[in-house]
Amino acid sequence: MAQILWCNLCNRNVTPEKKFNWLLFIFLCGIPYLLYYTIFIKPGCPVCHARNFSPMRADELGKK
């Protein structure tokens, strides 16, 4: 299960995710991009795409 973290930029609890770029995958013939994706790409906020996280804040769970 993915870890829920607090995004410091958009001030909400989110589940960080990686975005796979199919265009680069096709142009780089697959293998180099897979290595780049697994080693260098860090999970980001799905809302604002920032990579600045803190531990989850329990007081914000369930709010809209």
| pLDDT surpasses 80 at 2 | no
Q: Is the whole model's pTM more than 0.85, yes or no? A: no
* Alpha-carbon span 55 to 64, nearest angstrom: 19
Calpha distance 62→64 (Å, rounded): 7
Other residues' Cβ atoms within 10 Å of the Cβ of residue 45? 21
Least confident of 16-20, 45-49, 60-64: 60-64
Give 20-29 contacts, CB < 8 A, sequence gap 24+. Answer: none
Q: Which two tokens stand for residue 51?
A: 């990579």
Residue 61: pLDDT above 70?
Answer: no
